[in-house]
Amino acid sequence: MPHAPHRDFALISVSIDLGAGRRGVDMGPSALRIAGIQGKIEQIGHTVSELGTITAGGIETTESGEGVLPFLSEILDVAGRTRAAVRNALDRGCIPLILGGDHSLSIGSVGAVADHYREQGESIGVIWVDAHTDMNQPHTTPTGNIHGMPLAVLLGFGEPRLTRGRASVRPENVSILGARELDQGEKALIRELGVRVFTMSEVDERGVATCMDEALERAGDGTCGFHLSLDLDALDPAVAPGVGTPVRGGLTYREGHLVCEKASRSGGLLSLEVVELNPVLDDRNQTAELGVGLVASALGATIL
């Protein structure tokens, strides 16, 4: 495997499934480790530091609370601990690589990256690769599941305790790639903010390469780089069966790799997360192995 320019990465596991409607994604980080993620990154030529695991309480033992957002208090706590771990990685000069866990963890991970660069007078972009747009708010959510809200929160919309009273990213620097299942309230907010959504219909018609190029241009416009949030349900369930909320008609194996290869070649990757891997639903850990391969592509692994 050809070596990419050496970089220092910090692995952070966030074991949480409280933001999701189905159990099991809290085991995603372990499955990625079993699939050999650290060795794969080192094989490319990078250094990997272990910054440990952030563990949420279990559904059986955690108070769900009252109101429309179940487990809000525990998710806030996990977001805070994730934020601290990612800041620690950045302070060490490492690129954070976060292993999830449900997508609610992005409230902490992306928030930390944005805070870090904001203090340096910079802003960041976000490329959200996902079957869903994750832009629900408490008054629009059909489920109450917070993993359907993190991008809205990062844009400054939603529960004030989650947003912390400000936006982490600007809508003009945000793109969603691979979306194919949206709620009505999300569509309204997307139109209001002007977030760019590359639906699977557009990917089919124009090609994933063109769409990713435009997402990269948008993420890099006036920013110091971008965070790549990779929800494995962006891939078609035929190649990624082990995800929390599968939706048919997703990215192919090669399309997923091309997205990550282009992210690497852009030179703008500041941080990366892989979320929503559910080993309970997987087949012989194939989705975890796919996730490791996608991470490797995003970090510089090439075919030739």
- As annotated, the active-site residues are 103, 130, 132, 134, 147, 231, 233, 276
Q: What residue has token string 């194919």?
A: 180
Q: How far apart are CA 8 and CA 188, in angstroms?
A: 40
Number of H helices, E strands in the chain: 11, 8
Question: Which phi and psi angles does 98 have, rounded to 5°?
Answer: -105, 130
Burial 250-276, CB ≥16 within 10 A → b, else e:
bbeeebbbbbbbbbbebebbbbbbbbb
The two beta strands, 269-275 and 95-100, are parallel
Q: How far apart are CA 57 and CA 65, in angstroms?
A: 13
Instruction: Answer for the pair 279, 25: CB distance below 8 angstroms, yes or no.
Output: no
Instruction: Answer for the pair 148, 138: CB distance below 8 angstroms, yes or no.
Output: no
